[in-house]
């Protein structure tokens, strides 16, 4: 491999504030060879690796500690797995990936009901159950729950007489 190209990638690595340790040079050589096998062009592989390093820097994937080469590896592995062979393909892929993630964020925001939607749903349910207002439905539901709570011991005592368990299943009878 071209020693100058390696030093250019190393400089990008250091400029991106990615931790440079005893394994970093080996990682850079490995990433370059993987990308070169994919693209069949050393310069294109070098451009893609520099793009991965810059993406890591741009996204600021860590807060106070230095970034590691693992973030670069994730990009390289993803691009290889998706068969990308040029920087142009990589740019299109990353743009589509960003659009998909923003679409997913929009979808998750849509799924959260607003207070108006909840109020309309409650009004519709009250109408279906024959109540005039939501408050009337709430009071009736509360009264029903209080009555069920008060009659629970009596209902549980009757279960034994009927041959049913507390969950309503038939008790096995011994012969």
Nearest to residue 74, comparing CAs of 55, 91, 88?
Answer: 55
Model confidence over 12-61: pLDDT tens digits? 888 877 777 777 778 888 888 888 898 888 888 888 988 888 888 887 76
List, as one string, the DSSP characters of 126-170: HHHTT-SSHHHHHHHHHHHHHHHHHHHHHHHHHHHHHTB-TTSPB
CB atoms within 10 A of CB 64: 4
What gap in Å lies between CA 69 and CA 28, rounded to an integer? 9
Q: Find the mean pLDDT for residues 141-158.
A: 87
Q: Which residue has the higher pLDDT, 130 or 63?
A: 130
Model confidence over 87-128: pLDDT tens digits? 899 899 988 888 877 766 665 566 777 888 899 999 999 999
- pLDDT of res. 3: 45
Q: Which residue has the higher pLDDT, 171 or 135?
A: 135
């Amino acid at each position: 491999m071209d020693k100058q190209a390696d030093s250019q990638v190393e400089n990008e690595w250091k400029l991106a504030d990615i931790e440079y340790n005893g394994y970093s040079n080996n990682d850079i050589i490995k990433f370059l060879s993987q990308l070169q096998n994919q693209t069949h062009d050393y310069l294109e592989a070098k451009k893609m690796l520099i793009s991965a390093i810059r993406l890591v820097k741009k996204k600021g994937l860590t807060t106070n500690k230095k970034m590691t080469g693992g973030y670069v590896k994730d990009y390289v592995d993803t691009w290889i797995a998706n068969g990308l062979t040029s920087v142009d393909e990589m740019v299109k892929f990353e743009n589509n990936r960003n659009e998909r993630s923003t679409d997913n964020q929009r979808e998750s925001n849509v799924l959260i009901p607003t207070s108006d939607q909840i109020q309309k749903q409650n009004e519709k349910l009250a109408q279906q159950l024959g109540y005039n207002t939501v408050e009337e439905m709430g009071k009736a539901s509360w009264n029903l729950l209080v009555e069920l709570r008060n009659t629970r011991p009596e209902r549980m005592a009757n279960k034994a007489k009927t041959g049913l368990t507390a969950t309503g299943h038939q008790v096995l009878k011994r012969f």
